[in-house]
Every structure is written in C-alpha cells, then in structure tokens.
Amino acid sequence: KAGVTQTPRYLIKTRGQQVTLSCSPISGHRSVSWYQQTPGQGLQFLFEYFSETQRNKGNFPGRFSGRQFSNSRSEMNVSTLELGDSALYLCASSSSAGGNQPQHFGDGTRLSIL
C-alpha cells in the first residue's frame, strides 16, 4: 500500500501570498488531519476532515482553511501568508475520525515565508 503523499515537499513564498498544500491519504483511509510543526510551538493540530466534512478544528486563524474531496484527498490553504507561517506542515490519515486509530503521517511540506 502506498503511504501518505504530500506535495510539494518544499515551498518558498513571500508575505501576503497564499498557498495550497495537498495530501493524498492511504487508500481506504477517509480521515485526514493536518498539523503545523514549528521549533517554538512544536506540533499543533490544524483540522481534521472525514468524508469531506471538517470534523474538528484547532486554534488557528481563519486564514487557514482546508477541504477534502470525494476520493479523500485533502488540500490545505493558507491566505495572506505571514512570516510566522513558516513551518513544516504534516498531514496524517487514518481509517476513522477522532484520533482513536493509528495515524499514518506523510513526509510533510516545508513552507518558508520570505
């Protein structure tokens, strides 16, 4: 089985731009969660999608949004980028929602804001 695939792996943007990151879950997994990892804050939960519906949301501003498609692939969008958005963005898939099943992580997208 192919693992979780995130694209792109690296991205450089400037302040004020917007960015879209993509995550393809393991085949058959319907839950996709997104996380932000920074040196200062560590790993933080962004949101979780299950069957095209946002099930849970972390404490991030509205500039951070996401969606999930019928094939379970998910995208995350960040608008009006700020320097503090520089981070490793990870997605994880699991067979059910809510974190009661093992999470399978992708390799992440490293976003740098200049």
Partner 1 sequence: KNEVEQSPQNLTAQEGEFITINCSYSVGISALHWLQQHPGGGIVSLFMLSSGKKKHGRLIATINIQEKHSSLHITASHPRDSAVYICAVKLSPIQGAQKLVFGQGTRLTINP
User: Of 57 and 63, which CB lies nearer to partner 1 in the complex structure?
Assistant: 57
Element (H, E) at 87: strand 87-94
User: Of 18 and 52, which CB lies nearer to partner 1 in the complex structure?
Assistant: 52
Q: What is the DSSP letter of 81?
A: -
- Name the β-bridge partners of 72: none
CB of 59 to partner 1, least distance (A): 9
CB of 108 to partner 1, least distance (A): 5
Q: Write out the residues near partner 1 by the rule CB under 8 A.
A: 33, 35, 37, 42-45, 48, 55-58, 88, 90, 92, 97-108, 110
SS3 category, 27:
coil
Q: Is residue 34 a contact partner of residue 74, using CB atoms and an 8 Å limit?
A: yes
